[in-house]
Amino acid sequence: MSISKTGFNNWREDKPLWNAVVFATSFMYERFMLMINDVVVAITGRNYFFPNKPKEFHKECAKYCRCAVLVRGLLWKMAGWKSLLFLYLSETLWSIPPHPACAMFVTNHGSNVDDGSDGGGGCIPSSSTYAGRWYSLFTLGTNYHCEHHDFPTIPLHRLGELRKIAPEFYKKGSNDNVFRIMKKAFSKPEFYACMDAG
């Protein structure tokens, strides 16, 4: 069962406010459940979301989860439960509406359709948000998502340079309106990264 897919199935076309609330709710719930999953993996030494992965993968997951649970336990002991609430909220709130960074998160793996003007056509599984230098700084360069997929080993702070090096491959300008992007993203449900887009 996918929490995100369950939430996505409740989206309604041309109901951006409803869809934003459903997205925010399912996102917050999913992040909370992932923290619980860390405890399960730390105890059992196995990540049940990936049953067919090799033993080495599960060992690495268990090591990470044990460290994460230890850090959370120490934070709780030293600073109380509010420290964990702060971590949870700081991870999630910048990813959901009305926060402007949410425009990048909800469109990184949308299913835009190419108009076919370059002879291509079809579904485009990734997109970038070009809303200016401050937006790029604000989102730590993660708004350059197409560039990241094209060149995954380039550090985030250098991804913006790709538009200058190879302008023919990336959209020109930096005038994306993040609020228009959010409204468009939440108005019509799109399949994740062209999955099931037919």
Instruction: Indicate the residue type of 157.
Output: H
Q: Which two tokens stand for residue 97?
A: 């509406």
- Indicate the helix (H) or strand (E) that contains 25: helix 16-44
Q: pLDDT digit string (tens) for 123-138? A: 667 788 888 888 888 8
Is cis: bond before 51, omega within 30 of 0?
no
Provide CB contacts within 8 A for 29, sequence distance 6+: 3, 7
- Report the C-alpha gap between 88 and 133 in whole angstroms: 28
Q: pLDDT digit string (tens) for 31-73? A: 999 999 999 999 999 999 899 999 999 999 999 999 999 999 9
- Report the C-alpha gap between 80 and 103 in whole angstroms: 33
Tell me, yes or no, if the pTM score tops 0.85.
no
